[in-house]
A and B are shown apart, each in its own frame.
Chain A
């Protein structure tokens, strides 16, 4: 019997007609091509670098940088290494991205909801905002804020004075810096206790609702607790907070916190631009919840506010979150436009100055790309986890 089955397939398919062999062949060819291309690139690059006298390797990271950076979140001066410039650039990138994400989200949600407002004027103004801002290149908007608006501000001596504590001039925005004194720890403790109390109340309110059906105004009480408790603690400790107000010293201000115009322009432009995209996402997310859902909720007797909170928003968020994260990713990538106005982000400092001074193009570009790849992949990972969580809920 076995012999017969073999006989019945005399030779089997010729290898080049067997799809498995074919697919293997194509894949081997593809791999070979990629390796060949990679090999040629590496060989060319090595030859080119040798003829230009560029050394290879990551040793340059330990050499002294010797250039200053106008803004740094971590201690930095010109005597530190190129490796340090990487961290300065990275933290600056993360700072402006985080600031932008927060502002763009708030702005986007407000505008997106306003776009659906029953108030005709508000809806139209939001529409105009969205359609104008998102159809103009981001770089142009950054230039506009940096050169046309902030560049037109007066010099430090003629600073715009906001209540004697904040100063705005063409070198930046100067705001008082809070300096915590002894006893401020009490405020932190009060805050921690308030948070714990809110969590406790929430659990208790849920239990009581299960047992008796009564609904406790958790949100209002929670907000009151979070505000009042730290406030009481603050005054009980004798207001242990001092503000260092910036003051004009010579040609510029000293003391306080400085927001350099590069950061401000980048932040404003990124937030406005991304905010317009987020607004559209929010709008279509809310619209995606079918009318039947709202009708069903109303038929069940839920008032408008509860319909929104219990039915519309949870469903809309599922639609909103995936494109929202990709907007966050876009914002982080777009923050690299900092280069154009000199905000010292990763690309400007590391891929710009460091690369120019060391000539280590391959290493620097590879490190920079790896950073963005890491950011992007971690956001994708988060997205996949989120999608899976949502998918389970659907069952």
Chain B
């Protein structure tokens, strides 16, 4: 599914935006031949990925495989040194303006929530809409309340993050990202730092979000979530994309030896 698209776009990227607007409108993320190094350490090797609008992708792999680094490149929290990343027709280059544009359109949820502890839940959600999108405070607060209701914690709006449980904090973090009305949501191991009984409440919110047609890239070890929600599962190891398949195929009939070994280890538990 992914490969023919990549080829097509590669052959016709003289004026990518025009082409995409007419032909492949559904392509929202394109990563082409992307490499990244930390010093001399080659973390990401020749990654290619195309994500269509509304697609839900789960990225998994052993720790240190570069999966977090990869999605952090997509909103430029990490810089890539070679290849191209095009998000919503905007290529990520050194251009500050383009980085800002991409970050506006891409929401991110972190493993450790990273809520701002000095602001209330509501203020956390309104900060960026007010200062970056320049939305009037009233309107921003109304939107924020809407999203807080969607993640089922409108009653906590005036509390500070420190007063909430981990699961609640992570749901606030999702609401905060949604308040920017992003086109894409990135999830960087959103449930890894949570106690087991809180994982479900966060996954429920993510499943609901997936049902609404949001484009999602999730780095996660929750294989159940991958099975029910993902359109595609990507397996990374050693900084490479090893395998890429729809979930039923990925789980029942993995092609690569490395994938098989990884699945054995994970499903043994």
Contacts and interface: CB of A to CB of B under 8 A. Distances in A.
Q: Do A and B bind each other?
A: yes
A8 B16 contact: yes
Contact of B95 (A5, A7, A8, A13): A13
A142 to B, nearest CB: 43
B142 to A, nearest CB: 33
Interface string B253-269: 00000000000000000
B14 A4 contact: yes
Contacts of B98: 13, 17
Contact of A17 (B13, B16, B84, B95): B95
Contacts of A161: none
Nearest to B82: A5
A338 to B, nearest CB: 46
A9 B91 contact: yes
Nearest to B95: A13
* B contact residues, range: 10 to 19
Nearest to A12: B93
Contacts of A19: 94, 96
Interface string A156-190: 00000000000000000000000000000000000
B138 interface: no
A8 B91 contact: yes
A14 interface: yes
Interface in A100-142: none
A22 interface: yes
Contact of A9 (B93, B96, B97): B93
Contact of B94 (A4, A5, A13): A13
A4 B13 contact: yes
B89 to A, nearest CB: 12
Contacts of B14: 4, 7-8
| Most chain A CB inside 10 Å of its own CB: which residue of B13, B84, B96, B98 | B96
Contacts, number: 33
Interface in B90-124: 91, 93-98
Interface residues of A, number: 13
A249 to B, nearest CB: 73
A62 interface: no
Contacts of A17: 95-98
Nearest to A3: B14
A25 to B, nearest CB: 12
Interface in A299-324: none
A4 to B, nearest CB: 7
Interface string A5-40: 101110011100111101000000000000000000
Interface string B209-233: 0000000000000000000000000
A13 B93 contact: yes
Contacts of B97: 13, 17
B50 to A, nearest CB: 15
21 contacts: A4-B13, A4-B14, A7-B13, A7-B14, A8-B13, A8-B14, A8-B16, A12-B93, A13-B93, A13-B94, A13-B95, A13-B96, A13-B97, A13-B98, A14-B95, A17-B95, A17-B97, A18-B94, A18-B95, A20-B94, A22-B96
